[in-house]
Structure 1
Amino acid sequence: MSAAAKKAIETGKIWTFPGGIHPPERKELSNHSPIGQLALAATYVVPIKQHTGAPGEICVAVDERVLRGQPLTQSTTGQGLPVHAPTSGTVTAIGPGRIAHPSGMADIVIRIRADGEDESVPQQGLTDYTQVSRAELLDSIRLAGIAGLGGAGFPTAQKLALQRPIDYLIINGVECEPYISADDRLMREHAESIIDGAEILLHLAGCNKGLVAIEDNKPEAIAAMQDVLQQHPHFSLRVVPTKYPSGGEKQLIQLLTGRQVPSRGLPIDIGLIMQNVGTAYAVSRAIRHGEALTERVVTVTGEAVAKPGNYWVRIGTPVAHVLQQTGFQAQDNEQRIIMGGPMMGFTLPDVDVPIVKISNCLLVPSTTELAPAQQEMPCIRCGACSDVCPAELLPQQLQWLAKAKDHEGLEKQNLFDCIECGACAYVCPSEIPLVHYYRKAKAEIRNIAREKAKAEIARERFEARNERLEREKEQRLERHRKAAEARKKAQQEQVKSGGDNPQDAVQAAIARAKARKAAQQKAADEQASSNDEDNA
């Protein structure tokens, strides 16, 4: 990063990004009361995969008693993360179960019957993390199961492990999506722990400058963070204008630094790392107190909830329990329950799915508050979707290509630069669910890539097998050749030393074989003669 760019950043300049919208915020429904605590559920459902990357290996068994914070899986790959028991109880089942996913798909889950004691594993934190090696700190964060709590779910330790020069660490407290106020309340009530976690992240990133970004519609959070940041000179507060989706990783980077992350690239490619405020808080708890990630703040909101607010919810808590505790009142049979916000969230197939690490909101709107999806109509080519796209894509073109399953064309149009913010669908007068087309197309492309990778691995294994068989054949031929040479050499040496003629030895062997055959024939004839006499 150039000196001029750094100087502009240091002065507090705020840039802008293309597109964006201003939907009704509706945060006042949930942000007025402190974070609450829900009663323990009777049963918890913990999916073994709650992060980007491969799932861990299950390390508990049915009928085994577990304690809160005990690992239920252990990571087996560089990107793997363990999941932990949310409370003490007994493992009742391990197998397929419906998870929080737009498709309503099933995955492997671990079911735990709570015993009500909420007993935890012993915890031990660090007083001075600077006296511990970087590798040990990263391992502590990994073993605590911490993934990005802002929505992506990328393993935090894996992101920090990348060895590249970093100019700035960005702590994202923007929380731009309507209705959601989990990060807002967390910053108001736990600003000190958030900044402590941010200092740990700064130490691990190997840089000495950090930026804390908050949207200007959160004055209480801004004041709380300002008070704490006075004691942390490495960090500067940046207040950004309210515009959706200013909390998107690439959009916030553009706001704070004026730089654009390359297509298909990562922030680290331009010397930046971003972490959510919830992630920073979880890192502080993991390092200072030895706590695994077993709960998070979830916004429960909407006019169909009697007690909207923010709550500490154990990971694995069934959505039905959360709604029962917050006074959910279904208005009709078509009542929607959305995990996430109205822009990027998705409607749940049922209320038995569990809260996971990236679940930041449960939105239960009334039909008058958030109208059901309308019938999709033909595109009128108004261009409104292109105007609001923060990634400067062509949503209309992407939709046509997705419907045609033109995966090559989608790649050329940079489909994977789409952050699925929903701004295009929000302004579409034809009620086209554009994001749904993009999600489906991305899933298809990823599946094709996985199948291609599997086929490539199978081809490599086949070729390796053929090479091994050919190598073994050549080795056998070589052994036979060497053995023949050794016999020939031995025979030559025997002749030179005056021993028997090799030809005589061969003739003797033939004579012995003939004599043995004659003896066998004679014995057979005698046996036949004896049988004839008996019959007579």
Structure 2
Amino acid sequence: MSRELFKFKGGVHPPEHKAESTSRPIHAAPLPKKLVIPLRQHIGNPAKPVVEIGERVLKGQMIAAADGYISTAVHASSSGTVTAIDLQPVPHISGLPDLCITIETDGRDEWVAHAPLDYQAMEPSQLRMQLRDLGLAGLGGAVFPSAVKLDPGASHACTTLIINGGECEPWITCDDMLMRHHADEILQGVGIMRHLLGSTEILVGIEDNKPEALDSMRSAAAKLDFAVEVVKVPARYPGGGAKQMIETLTGRQVPSGKLSTDIGIQVFNVGTSYALARAIHHGEPLITRLVTVTGHVLRPQNFEVLIGTPMHTLITLAGDRDGTTGVLMGGPMMGVPMPNLDVPVVKATNCILVKSAELFPPLPKALPCIRCTRCADACPVELQPQELFRFAKAGDFGRAQEYHLFDCIECGCCSYVCPSHIPLVDFYRYAKSEIWAREKDKRAADLARERHEFRQFRQEREKKEKAEKLAAKAQAARAQAALDQAQRAELAAAPAAEGAAVSDTDAKKALIAAALARAQAKKSDAAPKNVDQLTSEQLHQIEEIEARRTKIRELARKPLESEEKKP
């Protein structure tokens, strides 16, 4: 009995252009002379370098450690010498450089010592940290650290595990070829995910335009000792998106502002599962991936590529041609233009799409919005793109957020169907970046205000404490003066018959009284301040100190008291 499938709203059917790069087998790209490895290849904090310039490194050696929980390590893709740790061009939509480690390869491709992991004997938290140190991150586009996604948390039970083999974007075929040739290893990774998440239902979603991948994955699933259902889903863009795949397979929608784990579902790309299997069963960090090189090239195909390989190397291997008008990382719907061809392949690089005027003619000039609502009909997230465009263009970012701007997955369906050829996604990206920048400025201003207010409070407190100390000193001085005056009056009024001098005992009593008055003044002056927020342990320590001081004062008085009893 086939599984009941559901439809998500919207979506489009652009020309697929898949067959161009699936007619050739996977080839391993040769070792380049230089590897440029960015430290920010994942969502979260960039990795921190742990090597120095001039140091020789081995293939698979950690060269940058994870910085925090949402982060992951970076490794040398081959053996060689670190020649630079500096800013280099990277494949990012901003076109800005980022911190990278450059390695001059030595041609030996010499591995660091590595071994399989006995994941079933390890504590889940220990295993996840090991995966973080092996550089595991999602290979489906978001590049989220896998160790974090494999943590179900105390309040979330991921009963359903979905392996995403949709690959709905035109031109890209790396996941298709991976499933054809490495289905067994992909499902080995699924077994590890199942172990960590405790999932009881495992679904593999593959679009119906990949019959070879479907057959290969079903054959591999039949060999397993646990149930995996390989499901054929209709090919419709963006059906390979995580939320769209969830809705297609289960009929459930992820609520706005929530994660799939909030409804008990976790989704991983097939490439991530394959990389997980290599990490566990071979001890290999994530230093390679499959990359589709297609478009305006002579031999479109898929390469197994070392992370850090320059993109121009792969285009040359695929056969560069005259008439190139640009290069995208990714597909035509969500891909980002590359600033130059020296940028390296990173963990997020699933496709290098070479453009030409024939394959990708320039868009006509954008015209005013005619409010036709075709964009709303095509939106798979059920937004109002025309309204978001209006607010973004006017700079009314508050209203844009009210219309759920951050639910936009930037799939490009709205731009694809727009009869006015408006680059709608560009406006949404601009609005998001402006909101993020303003929130960052607001957080900085709030922090500065808090610091200023605390500084003012501290200064006022110090002034108050200083005034209290001065008042206590003045009071002690007045008390001492009054005491001295009283003692002098008492001595002057003594009967002449008892002698002109005060006895030694009376003199000692007067001295003791004066000393006690001064000690009391000093005690009030030295009374600790700001003890209202102390812990019980700290208060206990203060009590012990005061008890010792009292005991010392008592011991100091004892000899004098004994002398008073003498005849």
What's the TM-score once normalised by structure 1's chain length? Answer: 0.86
Q: Is the 8 A contact 1:149 1:276 kept in 2?
A: yes
1:81 aligns with 2:72: yes
Mark the runs of 5 or more structure 2 residues left unpaired by the alignment: 488-505, 515-567
Q: Is the 8 A contact 2:26 2:303 kept in 1?
A: yes
Match 1:221 to one of 207, 210, 213? 213
1:371-410 aligned at under 5 Å gives the runs 371-410=361-400
Distance across 1 between alignment mates of 2:310 and 2:248: 37
Q: Is the 8 A contact 2:311 2:342 kept in 1?
A: yes
Distance across 1 between alignment mates of 2:181 and 2:482: 96
Match 1:71 to one of 62, 65, 77? 62
Distance across 2 between alignment mates of 1:489 and 1:326: 97
Distance across 1 between alignment mates of 2:101 and 2:455: 39
Provide the residue aligned with 2:242 in structure 1. Answer: 249
Provide the residue aligned with 2:280 in structure 1. Answer: 287
1:275 aligns with 2:287: no
1:336-375 aligned at under 5 Å gives the runs 336-375=326-365
SS at match of 1:72: strand
Distance across 1 between alignment mates of 2:284 and 2:473: 67
Distance across 1 between alignment mates of 2:450 and 2:416: 47
Q: Is the 8 A contact 2:152 2:158 kept in 1?
A: no
Mark the runs of 5 or more structure 1 residues left unpaired by the alignment: 1-9, 503-536
Query: Does 243-252 or 203-212 show the bigger shift?
Result: 203-212
- Which digits, 9 at most, give the CA deviation of each residue in 1:370-410, with x for residues without a partner? 21233222222222111111011111111111111111011
1:491 Cα deviation after fit: 7.8
SS at match of 1:78: coil
Distance across 1 between alignment mates of 2:431 and 2:513: 82
1:176-187 aligned at under 5 Å gives the runs 176-187=168-179
SS at match of 1:238: strand
Distance across 2 between alignment mates of 1:292 and 1:60: 17
Match 2:92 to one of 101, 114, 121? 101
1:454 Cα deviation after fit: 2.1
1:481 Cα deviation after fit: 6.2
Match 2:303 to one of 295, 302, 311? 311
Q: Is the 8 A contact 1:140 1:286 kept in 2?
A: no
RMSD: 2.2
Query: Does 94-103 or 236-245 show the bigger shift?
Result: 94-103
Distance across 2 between alignment mates of 1:437 and 1:501: 84
1:148-227 aligned at under 5 Å gives the runs 148-163=138-153, 164-227=156-219
Distance across 1 between alignment mates of 2:457 and 2:78: 53
Q: Would the alpha carbon gap of residues 241 and 470 (structure 1) be closer, same or farther in structure 2, given more than 3 Å must change? A: same
Distance across 2 between alignment mates of 1:158 and 1:254: 23
Q: Would the alpha carbon gap of residues 174 and 469 (structure 1) be closer, same or farther in structure 2, given more than 3 Å must change? A: same
SS at match of 1:399: helix
Identity of aligned residues (%): 46
1:322 Cα deviation after fit: 1.4
Whichever residue aligns with residue 395 of structure 2, its letter is K
Work out which of the two has the higher radius of gyration on C-alpha atoms and give 1 or 2: 2
1:413 Cα deviation after fit: 0.9
Match 2:136 to one of 146, 163, 166? 146
Match 1:498 to one of 485, 495, 510? 510
Distance across 1 between alignment mates of 2:478 and 2:317: 92
Q: Would the alpha carbon gap of residues 477 and 306 (structure 1) be closer, same or farther in structure 2, given more than 3 Å must change? A: same
Distance across 2 between alignment mates of 1:62 and 1:95: 10
Provide the residue aligned with 2:423 in structure 1. Answer: 433
SS at match of 2:209: coil
Provide the residue aligned with 2:537 in structure 1. Answer: none
Q: Is the 8 A contact 1:137 1:287 kept in 2?
A: no
Distance across 2 between alignment mates of 1:500 and 1:211: 89
Aligned length: 489
Provide the residue aligned with 2:5 in structure 1. Answer: 14
- Which digits, 9 at most, give the CA deviation of each residue in 1:312-362, with x for residues without a partner? 111111111111222111315xx2211100111022121111111111000
Distance across 2 between alignment mates of 1:501 and 1:393: 85
Provide the residue aligned with 2:21 in structure 1. Answer: 30
Q: Would the alpha carbon gap of residues 418 and 492 (structure 1) be closer, same or farther in structure 2, given more than 3 Å must change? A: same
SS at match of 1:365: strand
1:456 Cα deviation after fit: 2.2
Q: Would the alpha carbon gap of residues 473 and 414 (structure 1) be closer, same or farther in structure 2, given more than 3 Å must change? A: same
1:519-534 aligned at under 5 Å gives the runs none
Query: Does 128-137 or 243-252 show the bigger shift?
Result: 128-137
- Which digits, 9 at most, give the CA deviation of each residue in 1:450-502, with x for residues without a partner? 22222223333333444444455555556666666777788888858234998
Whichever residue aligns with residue 291 of structure 2, its letter is V
